[in-house]
Amino acid sequence: MYTFLLSKIEVGSHLYVNFSDTLHLHGETVIVSTLVVSFLTLFLVLGTRDLKKVPGNFQNLIEVVYDLVKSIAFTQMGPSYYSQFLPFTATIFLFVLGSNLAGALIPWKLIEIPSGELAAPTNDINTTACLALLTSMAYFGAGFKIKGIGYFKRYIKPAPFFLPINIVEDFTKPLSLNFRLFGNVVADELTVTVICSLVPLIIPLPIMMLGLFASSLQALIFATLASAYIGEVIE
């Protein structure tokens, strides 16, 4: 495929691991997301192993995280349903936050791989597409679970002629979630890369801090929107 190369910046080059002609996976995405998932598992298992009445430092940290995800789910879904969907919201939030921070904080450039480079798993559009599709499956599932077949009444809700708009909305929701996360992460990395290629010292630091802030905010937004979509169908 023909690509422009402006000062050696490439978007969308991956380390392909081929299984057959049609089946291949993106090596660096799989490696980094596996690392993120195992780190998160370790963090949560160690943090919740022996819970005490008077929490220590580590348990305090875990409780802050729990309060945060609980407040996201609680404000979007209301007091009676939030506990059922809290695991989903928490998983999405922690995974997106973990992978964004992994891309921003760890100096992956030091590790050379044959093609592409190790970076946040969310800068691969397949990861974000998967997360977005999981969100749509979650809200379909939530609607069917809570409302049964009456879920379909939602499509003709304000008036019957809203039907096409409501159907299109089901497709635009995951699409916008997908592009929002992907675009933000790629935009952060691209800005840092471009500025680094112009001025490699000091100057990129504020931009990197901004990127760190924006990527945590994106995790919050993704989780908030996912719970808002679920809350919308079950209300």
Partner 1 sequence: MVDSIIAGCSVIAAAIAVGFAGLGPGIGQGNAAGQAVEGIARQPEAEGKIRGTLLLSLAFMESLTIYGLVVALSVLFANPFVGS
Residues making contact with partner 1 (CB under 8 A): 1-4, 10-12, 176, 179-180, 182-184, 186-187, 190, 214, 217-218, 220-221, 224
Give the whole-angstrom CA distance, residue 149 versus residue 162: 19
- CA-nearest of 208, 13, 211, 1 to 117 is 13
Q: Would you say 149 and 110 are in contact if contact means Cβ atoms under 8 Å apart?
A: no
Angle formed by the axes of helices 82-105 and 57-77, to 10°?
A: 120
CB of 208 to partner 1, least distance (A): 18
Nearer to partner 1, 45 or 64 (CB): 64
Contacts of 222 (CB under 8 A, 6+ apart): 92, 93, 96, 131, 177, 180, 181
CB of 152 to partner 1, least distance (A): 28
Nearer to partner 1, 141 or 183 (CB): 183
Per-residue burial over 35-49, b if 16 or more Cβ lie within 10 Å, else e, is bbbeebeebeeebee
Nearer to partner 1, 225 or 234 (CB): 225
Which residues are registered as beta bridge partners of 18?
Answer: 24
Nearer to partner 1, 118 or 185 (CB): 185
CB of 88 to partner 1, least distance (A): 20
CB of 12 to partner 1, least distance (A): 6
Nearer to partner 1, 3 or 18 (CB): 3
Give the whole-angstrom CA distance, residue 184 versus residue 188: 6
Nearer to partner 1, 27 or 183 (CB): 183
CB of 183 to partner 1, least distance (A): 3
Q: Would you say 215 and 105 are in contact if contact means Cβ atoms under 8 Å apart?
A: no
CB of 44 to partner 1, least distance (A): 25
Burial class (CB in 10 A: 0-12, 13-18, 19+), 181: buried
